[in-house]
Amino acid sequence: MNPIYQWRLAFVEARLEKLLTWCGTAAEEHATLGRITALTMEGMARAMAPDPATLPPCPVDECCPRCLGAGSRVYPSAVTWRGGMGGSVCTRDLCDRCWGSGDATAPWTDLRKLVAEEEQRVATRAVGLLAEMAGAKLTGMRGAVGAIADELERLAKGRKARPAWFTEACTSLARTLRRGIG
């Protein structure tokens, strides 16, 4: 078996052992104290976090300090590295420092940056297509596109009753237009 896979398997086994120990301790406290012991998100994240003392040596040059060389880590909510709205559950996902390599000196591709670049490329192309459909060049339409974005934002803030998701659609379109014109 590949040594990195062996190391990651040992890593997962060590975390599982720690989690089972933590859950057993919580159950004993519950029985002893006669009260309900809540498992908090922070407590679960701590329980699932690796203990460096129980791990085999890291197979890379310099282990990532955030994930300890595993390439993934437990986030205390469902947001993970992507941001946005999250749920109240511990979630394992790609480490946002080494981006999955496990090596602090050689991170893989920064997915946040990659997503931002793709969103910018799509917005610029969309506004370019809008200009083409109007029979103009994007450079000559920047002012018009900015005015359209202003109008969309004004419509979104209006008091008139609108269909469901109208405000969100106007706001999103205005944001995309502004991103597309730079």
21 and 32 Cβ atoms separated by less than 8 Å? no
List the pLDDT tens digit at each of the 182 positions of the chain. Answer: 567 667 777 777 777 677 667 666 655 555 544 433 344 445 555 555 555 555 556 667 788 888 888 888 888 877 777 777 777 777 888 888 999 888 889 898 998 899 889 999 999 999 999 888 888 888 888 899 999 999 999 999 988 888 889 999 999 999 999 999 88
Q: What is the pLDDT of residue 69?
A: 83
Burial 123-135 (b: 16+ CB within 10 A, else e): bbeebeebbeeee
Q: What is the pLDDT of residue 37?
A: 39
Q: What is the pLDDT of residue 91?
A: 80
| Chain mean position to CA 45 | 16
